[in-house]
């Protein structure tokens, strides 16, 4: 899918028909920590009569819990970010295949598991940001981040961060392990500081002058446009952004997604919930509520997301990328990326 459009044609799309009132319940295990998601849950319950029981926590804790619960797990649906954790859930045998014409038709093939065990529901672009006051020639590609010309200028998160793991895994997929290792070593050599903090902290590093270049997901910057983010919004005019690899593979996208739990006691309701999250109504809210990109093509973007501009997204199959996440972690360890 190419995310170079901020289509206004969404209104012309026929909204996905919501399930008839079904009653019953759904046990949702979610590591999405956004208060705005409340609207997704309440709208689903209003449309279907299905009550959602939520268990929220960090992704790794939820995976461990589901594994420990085994066949007795009450989990019906797992929601988490990003591809690395969705793959981990599959590898831990915590998910099951779903046959759904709705999901197959609405979610692009490269954004879902080849075995139909997980589906991407929203996207975030991994963007290069830079200090417009100090940079005349910012990096145009991910590979440029390893250019010695940028030594001591790059702020980026740790190797344990799932967004970085998936980014490096995508480089392995496109360029091979040797080139990916050279890249990771080059980025380490160019770091302005030891990796620290979250994506917003990388943007703050530009504002503070600690770094000239930073890597962050798109929705952290869009949020700073829409709301007052401490240490970013007041000086946001200082920060420029680059859509990486526009002359090549396109900008890397990572996912928030979900799947039906292997031992789901309410399997039918679980499938209905995933299908609802792929509806126009829910897809619009992923963007409006949390500044993300929808996975369904043609859905209207929030104003804060539109302001980021148009770009070409990498359309690599994320199931293929997921297969290289273990290699990516090995590379991180070998180059000393903390």
For the annotated binding site for Fe cation, the residues are 33, 219-220
List Cβ neighbours of 146 (8 Å cut-off, separation of 6 or more). 182, 183, 184, 185, 186, 187, 189, 190
Angle of CA points 99, 104, 109, to nearest 5°: 125
Asked if residue 98 lies in contact with residue 117, where contact means CB atoms within 8 angstroms, the answer is: yes
> What is the number of residues in the chain?
338
Asked if residue 302 lies in contact with residue 222, where contact means CB atoms within 8 angstroms, the answer is: yes
User: CA 29, CA 61: separation in Å to the nearest integer?
Assistant: 10
User: CA 82, CA 257: separation in Å to the nearest integer?
Assistant: 7
Residues facing residue 249 across a β-bridge: none
User: CA 146, CA 335: separation in Å to the nearest integer?
Assistant: 13
Binding residues: 33, 219-220
User: CA 250, CA 2: separation in Å to the nearest integer?
Assistant: 9
User: CA 328, CA 18: separation in Å to the nearest integer?
Assistant: 40
User: CA 311, CA 242: separation in Å to the nearest integer?
Assistant: 10
Asked if residue 28 lies in contact with residue 77, where contact means CB atoms within 8 angstroms, the answer is: yes
In the numeric block, the tokens 């209104």 are attached to 11
DSSP 250: -
User: CA 272, CA 162: separation in Å to the nearest integer?
Assistant: 28
Asked if residue 193 lies in contact with residue 158, where contact means CB atoms within 8 angstroms, the answer is: no
């Amino acid at each position: 899918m190419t995310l170079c459009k901020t289509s206004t044609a969404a209104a012309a799309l026929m909204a996905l028909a919501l399930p008839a009132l079904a009653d019953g319940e759904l046990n949702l295990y979610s590591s999405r920590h956004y208060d705005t998601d409340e609207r997704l849950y309440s709208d689903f319950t209003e449309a279907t009569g299905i009550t959602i029981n939520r268990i929220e926590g960090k992704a790794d804790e939820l995976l461990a819990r589901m594994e420990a619960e085994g066949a007795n797990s009450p989990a019906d649906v797992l929601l988490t970010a990003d591809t690395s954790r969705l793959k981990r859930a599959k590898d831990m045998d915590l998910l099951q295949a779903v046959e759904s014409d709705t999901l197959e038709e609405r979610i692009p093939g490269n954004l879902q598991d080849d075995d139909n065990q997980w589906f991407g529901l929203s996207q975030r672009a991994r963007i290069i940001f830079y200090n417009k006051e100090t940079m005349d020639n910012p990096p145009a590609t991910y590979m440029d981040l390893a250019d010695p010309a940028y030594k001591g200028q790059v702020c980026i998160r740790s190797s344990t961060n799932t967004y970085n793991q998936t980014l490096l895994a995508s480089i392995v997929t496109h360029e091979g392990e040797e080139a990916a290792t050279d890249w990771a070593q080059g980025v380490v050599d160019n770091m302005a500081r030891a990796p620290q903090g979250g994506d917003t902290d990388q943007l703050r590093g530009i504002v503070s002058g600690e770094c000239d270049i930073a890597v962050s997901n798109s929705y952290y910057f869009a949020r700073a446009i829409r709301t007052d983010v401490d240490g970013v919004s007041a000086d946001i005019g200082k920060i420029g952004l680059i859509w990486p690899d526009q002359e090549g593979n396109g900008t890397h996208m990572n996912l928030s997604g979900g799947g039906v739990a292997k031992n789901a006691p309410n399997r039918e309701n679980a499938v209905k919930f995933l299908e609802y999250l792929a509806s126009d109504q829910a897809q619009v809210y992923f963007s409006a509520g949390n500044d993300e990109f929808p996975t369904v093509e043609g859905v209207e973007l929030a104003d804060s997301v539109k302001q980021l501009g148009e770009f070409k997204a990498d359309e690599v199959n994320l199931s293929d990328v997921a297969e290289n996440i273990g290699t990516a972690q090995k590379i991180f360890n070998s180059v000393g990326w903390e």
